[in-house]
Amino acid sequence: MQFVAGQYDVIVIGAGHAGVEAALAAARMGEKTLLATLSMDNIALMPCNPSVGGPAKGHLVREVDALGGEMGVNADRTCIQFRMLNTGKGPAVHALRAQADKKLYQFTMKETCENTENLDVKQILITDLLLEDLPADARKTQAGGEGSGDAPVFAPKKRVKGVVVETGEVYLAPAIIMATGTYLKGRIIIGEHTYSGGPNGQRPAMKFSESLAKAGIRLMRFKTGTPARVDARTLDYDKMQLQPGDEEARNFSFMSDITTREQVPCYLTYTNEATHKILRDNMDRAPMANGIIEGVGPRYCPSIETKILRFPDKDRHQLFLEPEGLHTNEVYVQGMSTSMPMDVQIAFLHTIPGLEHAHVMRAGYAIEYDCIDPTQLKPSLEFKDIRGFFSAGQANGTSGYEEAAAQGLIAGINAVEFLRGEAPVILRRSDAYIGVLIDDLVTKGTHEPYRMMTSRAEYRLLLRQDNADMRLTPIGRRVDLVTDARWDRFLQKKAAIEDALAALQGATLTPSTAQNAALEEVGIAPIHSACTAYDLLKRTEVHYEQLRTALPDLPALTQEVETQVEIQSRYEGYIKKQMEQVARMERLESKRIPENINYADVPSLRDEAREKLAAIRPASLGQASRISGVSPADVSVLAVWLEQQRRR
Ligand SMILES: Cc1cc2nc3c(=O)[nH]c(=O)nc-3n(C[C@H](O)[C@H](O)[C@H](O)COP(=O)(O)OP(=O)(O)OC[C@H]3O[C@@H](n4cnc5c(N)ncnc54)[C@H](O)[C@@H]3O)c2cc1C
């Protein structure tokens, strides 16, 4: 029997990496929020790699933090090794990666959720979404979003009302966010053995998919996989290469000042021909090859059996042995994701140097699950056809804790802006990796689990991990998510950067003997014509502290501010060029497309373009230009037609 058990402003279905960010954001912005999860003990569970960050993912963590999200702070408090990757390359691809103590990460996030005002956390299984007809007068107005001017309107016929729990409770709310991850119709596959289940032996959510389909939502079937966990006591680390953390203290959050941490190492080893032979000899028993697996897997996170098939000439694949925490012997074999039968898994593990006697504590497995086609969403992550219903995370076809957290945060913010009747926060591709992520999903869709990579961001020199706060903290402040402490810190840093740049640009140097002697004394090559200290800092071999030794009037700076000043001076030309590219794209972005456009009325559009445009309903010519199958010529045709309509 169903009964109304509670009324909320926002309900978040799922307490994974997306759900916790969404719920914390909504509650911190003042809304009465319910966070539902299948297991209170698995809030912010890391069912796969025990790590946060890395290339592009580290950028997302910083952006979530800059907007007032939780992942960065939680990672700084619970991670057990930090490394800055790609330091040999330009700042655009520098990326922080940290090894997490999974249980500590989970329980710290659980504690934060349980102690957040306005937030209730419940272990409940939601089976149904409750919808109601939108009254006729509510079917029109819906603002388009930050920076989008008079955007078009979407005219859904339904709106959310609440959710039903398997035990009969009904919870009501005008805004609902689904962040159901890898649980919808979850199916576990280990060789020939398959069963319905969620990650780490949890229950799946078998009914909610039907409720979504009944609401007219298109679903996809995806798959992902994870490697075995082995017992550290049975490993021979002498046969592997040590991978220690950085000595220099690192943090994800712009609010963290942690300078010392107990760090644990990872270890590097490799597969070999013996490993590959076992896999080749048993490929007919591989579920991803013999049809047992139907879901589509991640191209950029392939299983070991897929690697053997995809790279037959490669004589070895690197594996990282990553500790899962300080208080466990479980070790994650990164690079060895598999759903091979157990006898095969044990056999190929024992061919690897250092794992000859490894005991498997948890089997590698694949999981298939339902997710939605994200082209059904607006850039605000609200469904185009159901008012007040948002979606975030793996449920949108992505893969990764960081991708999930980024979407969860935006969905949480926009659910509240929706309730406030405000325009949603829509980050552009030139604002943030989060903007690239969401724009790719809602404009291009995805046919496999989408993973963020730096190569996806055309403006990556602007979207560095070091300046995420300068790009996004003001937006977080505008929606009341950035606290006073974070705002003050941001303003101080911003002022320090501006003052330092002004001081550098104001410090004029002349090629006098005394001046050049002072420069040479600190290892800076002499100057031959008058210049500013700012110009000198453009030299890649010149560093701010060095310059300040020669020019003591320059202000003392924190490491963070120094990094900003050095990058802004050294990459000024490239940054300027990229800003010009952004300005050119902005012109297309600002050209709005009316919602009620009928593409059949636009003469000389190619059929494929007409079809794609009608399906995606892009908000601007900029978004239209990114739809696969819509050519630049189609965009020009559309631009001319829109201009003619406007003049009429
Ligand atoms: C086996 C496996 C391997 C993976 N491998 C990788 C990888 O190699 N690389 C990578 O980047 N990512 C990988 N991932 C993905 C990564 O775990 C996810 O991207 C991330 O956890 C997604 O976060 P999320 O918040 O969207 O969903 P999840 O973390 O899956 O959380 C979903 C939440 O929804 C809840 N829930 C679901 N349905 C209901 C319901 N009906 N009622 C109430 N609560 C519900 C669950 O209890 C859970 O709290 C893997 C995941 C799994 C399971």
Per DSSP, the residues of 307-351 read: HHHH-TT-S--EEEEEE--TT--EEEEET------HHHHHHHHTT
> What's the 450 CA to ligand 1 centre distance in angstroms?
14
* Angle between helical axes of 484-506 and 559-570 (0-180°, round to 10): 50
**Ligand 1 within 6 A of 126 CB?**
yes
**Ligand 1 within 6 A of 36 CB?**
yes
**Ligand 1 within 6 A of 394 CB?**
yes
> What's the 640 CA to ligand 1 centre distance in angstroms?
45
Q: Residue 356, Cα to own-chain centre: how many angstroms?
A: 36
Task: Determine the Cα–Cα distance for residues 418 and 412; give it in Å rounded to an integer.
Answer: 10
Nearest CA to ligand 1 atom 18: 400
> What's the 46 CA to ligand 1 centre distance in angstroms?
8
**Ligand 1 within 6 A of 15 CB?**
yes
> What's the 400 CA to ligand 1 centre distance in angstroms?
8
User: How confident is the model over 206-230, as pLDDT tens digits?
Assistant: 999 999 999 999 999 999 999 999 9
Residue pair 326/80 in contact (Cβ under 8 Å)? The answer is yes
- As given in the structure block, the two tokens for residue 290 are 């013999």
Nearest CA to ligand 1 atom 29: 16
Residue pair 175/160 in contact (Cβ under 8 Å)? The answer is yes
> What's the 397 CA to ligand 1 centre distance in angstroms?
11
Residue 207: strand, helix, or coil: coil
Q: Which residue reads 């593990």 in tokens?
A: 349
- φ, ψ of residue 303 in degrees (nearest 5): -70, 165
CATH for 597-647, options being 1.20.1540.10, 3.40.50.300, 3.20.20.80, 1.10.150.570: 1.10.150.570
> What's the 394 CA to ligand 1 centre distance in angstroms?
6
Given this chain, do its domains 229-366 and 484-578 carry the same CATH topology? Answer: no
Instruction: Name 528's Cβ contacts closer than 8 Å, sequence gap at least 6.
Output: 511
Instruction: Name 580's Cβ contacts closer than 8 Å, sequence gap at least 6.
Output: none
Atom of ligand 1 nearest to the CA of 18: 25
pLDDT at 152: 45
Q: Within 10 A of 568 (CB to CB), how many other CB atoms are there?
A: 18
Residue 267: strand, helix, or coil: strand
pLDDT at 615: 87
Task: Determine the Cα–Cα distance for residues 484 and 250; give it in Å rounded to an integer.
Answer: 24
User: Which mutation among 224, 381, 451 tests ligand 1's pocket best, with the greatest number of atoms within 8 A of CB?
Assistant: 224
pLDDT at 139: 64
**239 pairs with which residues across the strands?**
none
pLDDT at 587: 85
> What's the 371 CA to ligand 1 centre distance in angstroms?
11
Residues of the chain under the 50 pLDDT cut: 141-153
Task: Determine the Cα–Cα distance for residues 561 and 263; give it in Å rounded to an integer.
Answer: 26
**Ligand 1 within 6 A of 17 CB?**
yes
Task: Annotate 419-468 with DSSP letters as a single string.
Answer: HHTPPPP---TTT-HHHHHHHIIIII--SS-B---GGG-TTTTTS-GGGH
CATH number at 4-127+162-222+369-478: 3.50.50.60
Atom of ligand 1 nearest to the CA of 125: 42
Task: Determine the Cα–Cα distance for residues 97 and 392; give it in Å rounded to an integer.
Answer: 23
Instruction: Name 160's Cβ contacts closer than 8 Å, sequence gap at least 6.
Output: 129, 130, 131, 173, 174, 175, 176, 386, 387, 388, 389
- φ, ψ of residue 304 in degrees (nearest 5): -65, -35
Domain 484-578 has CATH 1.20.58.100: no
> What's the 233 CA to ligand 1 centre distance in angstroms?
29
Task: Determine the Cα–Cα distance for residues 83 and 72; give it in Å rounded to an integer.
Answer: 15
Nearest CA to ligand 1 atom 35: 14
Instruction: Name 583's Cβ contacts closer than 8 Å, sequence gap at least 6.
Output: none
Task: Determine the Cα–Cα distance for residues 561 and 102; give it in Å rounded to an integer.
Answer: 32
Residue 27: exposed, middle, or buried by beta-carbon count in 10 A (0-12, 13-18, 19+)? buried
> What's the 236 CA to ligand 1 centre distance in angstroms?
32
Atom of ligand 1 nearest to the CA of 366: 1
> What's the 191 CA to ligand 1 centre distance in angstroms?
22
Residue 552: strand, helix, or coil: coil
Atom of ligand 1 nearest to the CA of 403: 19
> What's the 48 CA to ligand 1 centre distance in angstroms?
9
User: How confident is the model over 65-114, as pLDDT tens digits?
Assistant: 999 999 999 999 999 999 999 999 999 999 999 999 999 999 999 999 99
Query: For the chain, which residues make up each domain, given as ranges?
Result: 4-127+162-222+369-478, 229-366, 484-578, 597-647
Residue 369: strand, helix, or coil: strand
* CATH architecture under which domain 229-366 falls: Beta Barrel (2.40)
**Ligand 1 within 6 A of 404 CB?**
yes
Nearest CA to ligand 1 atom 20: 401
- φ, ψ of residue 497 in degrees (nearest 5): -65, -45
Residue pair 619/646 in contact (Cβ under 8 Å)? The answer is no
In 3D, which of 494, 199, 607 has the Cα closest to residue 366? Answer: 199
**370 pairs with which residues across the strands?**
221
User: Which mutation among 34, 38, 110 tests ligand 1's pocket best, with the greatest number of atoms within 8 A of CB?
Assistant: 38
